[in-house]
Structure 1
Amino acid sequence: MTTKFDELGLSSLLLKSINRMGFEEATPIQAETIPVTLQGYDVIGQAQTGTGKTVAFGVPLLERINVRNPVVQGLIIAPTRELAVQVSEELYKLGQDKRVKVLSIYGGQDIQRQIRALKKGPHIIVGTPGRIMDHMNRGTIDFSQVHTVILDEADEMLNMGFVDDIEAILSKVPTERQTLLFSATMPGPIRSIANRFMKDPKLIRTKAKEMTVPQIEQSYIEVHEKKKFDVLTRLLDIQSPELAIVFGRTKRRVDELANALTIRGYTAEGIHGDLSQAKRLAVLKKFKANTIDILVATDVAARGLDISGVTHVYNFDIPQDPESYVHRIGRTGRAGKTGTAITFVTPRETSYLRVVEETTKKKMNKMKVPSFDEAIEGQQRMVIEQLQTIIERQEAKYYYKAAEELLEKEDAVAVVAAALKMLTKEPNETPIELTSEPPLPSRRDRKSDRGGKSYNRKNSSSSKSWKSSSSSNARKRGSGKRFSNNKRVNER
């Protein structure tokens, strides 16, 4: 049974904004969270990204804002700068007709600029723990009239070591408040925060079958470290994703992958925590605008990204914990659309698949390593689709006369074959050098924290270099996209 937003008892101003954004039916987490929150209860929401939780906690918060009172009334704590920006943008759109002022504060931005913005009386602050603490220590932020606090992606803030900051922040806001906590998982320290700072919270969570998006086709390929890159480029050529995210385990891996993909002719750029905020936002803007169609990212940099239209996720390195896997594949298969997630696993890492499958409640399909011939065929199919589109749109009338003259002299099949050969680029044999990443430690070396379901995060710093000279075709040649010259970032 579906629930429409106009059945949730919302104000006309919020409904106007919601309708403008194109929302009609509430997602399960929204339909359950909004009424309970409007009644004033504290809420623990266990839900993945992509389930609509920003609207779930944002709508009740916006309903409670008194726009005539130019003070901070709502505080949202997020783990990353990207998530803070995205949440604030969503709240701005939702509260536009009510004229709610929303301000995001995070590291990497001029703090003096933030101080000036704070003096203008925002109603809602969305910030990262570190920057919120900076303002608290400077005395530039006033929480005395905050009535709602929201912790978004609390498990990720735990993983990033923000627990002490969160506790310090919560101890400085009024005790008479409403607290909402959202987390994909509920490890012990998160439950401890809930017990200390929340009052009889209502637990709302998606059902087990909803914890992973059923529209995502999940597969894995067993491949040696040295062969990963060529397998990736062959998959890109065969599948020709509209928008894809490639996940690497380290910042160095992201830099090298983005550079290598660009060398091979793909439109790719990378994001990770060492890039400046301006650079990261610029890359994300290009990805959203389809100026680049492959985003290479670390887990932390991609956390909270809300980008529609991602068709494929490639886990170039299997993540260090199953929760991160769930967050990664949640970038695709959104809003009822289908998505594809493919994970590369080295022979020594196959045991980790069982843990991932236990977490996702879904068995992954094993794919065979794609061949070079299949990559060529994939590009040929793409060229044929482009030709068919031109024919259907009747965009080639100017060339009809020349075509007729050519067909009078040559065999039609030979002419089409020659055109396909010309449009399907010859293999790109540019040698690629990546630094090998050590495999995850053996499962028997795992530590048993989090109930025995987490991975040992110990990692080796040693690395070897390898070269991949196998050829792979540049994709989307002839599609009108220009490949950017992506400068290589220094290795960490």
Structure 2
Amino acid sequence: MNFKELGINNEICDILKKSGITEATPIQEQSIPAIKAGRDVIAEAQTGTGKTLAFLLPIFENISPSVNETQALIITPTRELAIQITEQAKKLQDGKNINVLAAYGGKDIGAQLKKLKNGVHLIIATPGRLLDHIKRNTVNLKKLKTLVLDEADQMLLMGFKNEVESIIKESSKSHQTLCFSATMDSAVKKLAYRYMSDPLVVTIEKVKVTLENIHQEVVETLDREKRNALCTVLEQDNPFMAIIFCRTKRRADELELALHQRGFDCEKIHSDVPQPKRERIMKAFRNADIQYLIATDVASRGLDINGVTHIYNYDIPEKSETYIHRIGRTGRAGEEGYTCLFVDPKDTRILEEIETKIKLKIPRRSL
């Protein structure tokens, strides 16, 4: 189905066409008409299914540029996601008089205040910074038409439940609520249903678990030997661009230091890295100016980067879904991808869970 058939105007259809987007994805097909009609929607879909456009396109259709009020608000758990959604929104802005503001911690609040004085139609924000604006009386949500909770499961996981509820209480009583999430567990459903009336539930079946064109291997090692094992693998593979996943911020810090000392071209991102620096690192990585990006799961959530040839799981993730999510960053668009998972004997149970989930005994790599 094309976007015109879904009721999207010609100007926006042309902008999408320029980016090579002509056909709607299943989540866009099922959500856009309902959102345009003002209905509450709960949508469950994995990253990479086109859910950002599924809510952005009808929001752009429903905003009245002549009304100088905040009409739509998108809340997202991380700064990176806020930046990504803002980039997509700015592309759609072309030729439309819609003012968009990204509000997240680490970004100059003075510039945000100045922009708010001139009136903003759409705000894309992280919960903490938005509440800061509400307390300063610089954001008024009393005329809000649409509120989007993006990556709702991650928002709850990161402990933003109280902030989200405070924001909803500050919003107009009659707004439309949209809840988008990769997983619809009971906590997400509970939050969604409390603030929604008769929502349309859209569930997009998970894409086949593991992509055929990703070659996976496991290196069995001990935790104290892991760093040497990783360095041996990196020297043997010398990938074009790779992401190395760590379980915690501290592990990412230690690994970055050790790899720098051994002469590897790497940078880390996690939630303690200052925002301007994170943006610089991500830009450099996207441009392939950095070979290795060391990341935690939270910092990497929702990031879509072309050209990643290798994924290294320095630490095994706690859930099999996270493993699938991580390795899906490579082998995109029909390209070949490679992933390597480093496991200590204590990781055996999780490894077995992953192998059961993907229906594959992952080949062992010997060093």
CA 1:26/1:336 → structure 2, altered by over 3 Å: closer, same or farther?
farther
**Contact 1:218 1:364 survives alignment (8 Å):** no
- The residue type paired with residue 25 of structure 1 is E
Counterpart of 1:36, as a letter, is A
Question: Which residue pairs with 2:281 in the alignment?
Answer: 283
Tell whether the 8 Å contact from 1:106 to 1:127 is kept in structure 2 after alignment. Answer: yes
Structure 1 unaligned residues grouped into runs of 5+: 372-492
Q: 2:150 aligns with which of 149, 152, 159?
A: 152
State yes or no: 1:368 paired with 2:346.
no
Give SS of 2:85's match. helix
Aligned to 2:101: 103
Partners of 1:47 and 1:211 within 8 A in 2: no
| Residues 55 and 219 of structure 1: CA distance in aligned 2, closer, same or farther (over 3 Å) | farther
Q: Which of 127, 130, 153 in structure 2 is aligned with 1:129? A: 127
Aligned with 2:61 (options 34, 52, 63): 63
After TM superposition, give the deviation of residue 213 of structure 1 in Å: 5.3
Matches within 5 A, 1:23-422: 23-210=21-208, 215-357=213-355, 361-371=357-367
Looking at structure 2, the residues matched to 61 and 211 of structure 1 have their Cα atoms a distance apart, in angstroms, of 31
**How far apart are the structure 1 equivalents of 2:194 and 2:210?**
30
Q: C-alpha offsets along residues 292-325 of structure 1, whole Å, 9 cap, x if unaligned?
A: 0210011122122232222222111012334433
User: Structure 2 counterpart of 1:367, which letter?
Assistant: P
TM-score under structure 2 length normalisation: 0.92
Question: C-alpha offsets along residues 48-99 of structure 1, whole Å, 9 cap, x if unaligned?
Answer: 2122211111111111111122221110000011111111111111232323
Contiguous gaps of at least 5 residues in structure 2 = none
Deviations 1:319-345 (A, max 9, x none): 233443343234334445443333222
8 Å contact kept, 1:102–1:124:
yes
- The residue type equivalent to 1:205 in the other structure is T
What secondary structure sits across from 2:101 in the alignment? Answer: strand
**Aligned partner of 1:355: which letter?**
E
| Overall identity of the aligned pairs, in % | 45
Q: How many residues are paired up?
A: 367
The answer to whether the Cα contact below 8 Å between 2:27 and 2:202 also exists between their aligned partners in 1 is yes
Q: TM-score, normalised by structure 1?
A: 0.70
Structure 1 pair 353–260 and aligned structure 2 pair: CA distance change class (3 A): same
Q: What amino acid maps onto 2:272 in structure 1?
A: D
Shift in CA distance, 355/163, structure 1 to aligned 2, threshold 3 Å? farther
User: Against the structure 1 CA distance between its residues 212 and 128, is the aligned structure 2 distance closer, same or farther, given a 3 Å change threshold?
Assistant: farther
* Aligned residues of 1:258 and 1:270 also touching (Cα < 8 A): yes
Shift of 1:364: 4.2
Classify the secondary structure of the residue corresponding to 1:171.
Answer: helix
- Check whether the contact 1:50–1:334 (CA below 8 A) recurs between aligned residues: no
SS of corresponding position for 1:109: coil
**Which secondary structure state, in structure 2, belongs to the residue aligned with residue 82 of structure 1?**
helix
Residues 357, 76 of structure 1: alpha-carbon distance in 2 compared, 3 angstrom cutoff: farther
Q: Which has more radius of gyration?
A: 1
Taking structure 1 as reference, are residues 72 and 203 closer, same or farther at Cα in structure 2, changes over 3 Å only? Answer: same
SS at match of 2:358: coil
Distance change (3 Å), C-alpha of 1:215 and 1:75: farther
In structure 1, C-alpha distance between the alignment counterparts of 2:48 and 2:282, rounded to whole Å? 17
For 1:47 and 1:340, how far apart are their aligned partners in 2?
25
Residues 20-46 of structure 1: per-residue CA shift (max 9 Å, x gap) = 222122222222222332232211111
Task: Write the letter of the residue equivalent to 1:259.
Answer: L
Contact 1:231 1:370 in 2 (8 A): no
Q: Which amino acid aligns with 1:306?
A: D
Counterpart amino acid of residue 139 in structure 1: N
Q: Compute the displacement of 1:113 (Å).
A: 2.5
Task: Give the structure 1 partner of residue 20 of structure 2.
Answer: 22
Do 1:29 and 1:51's aligned partners in 2 also have CA atoms closer than 8 Å?
A: yes
CA shift, 1:217, in A, is 4.2
Matches of 2:148 and 2:209 in 1, distance apart? 21
**Larger displacement relative to structure 2 (236-245 or 164-173):** 236-245
* Superposition CA RMSD, Å: 2.1
Deviations 1:221-242 (A, max 9, x none): 3222133223323333444432
Q: Distance in 1 between matches of 2:106 and 2:68?
A: 26
C-alpha deviation, 1:347, in angstroms: 1.0
- Distance in 2 (CA, whole Å) between partners of 1:109 and 1:200 is 37
- Alpha-carbon contact 1:313-1:342 (below 8 Å) kept: yes
Assess if the C-alpha contact under 8 Å between 2:218 and 2:365 holds in 1: no
Give the 3 Å change call, closer, same or farther, for CA 368–212 of structure 1 in structure 2: closer
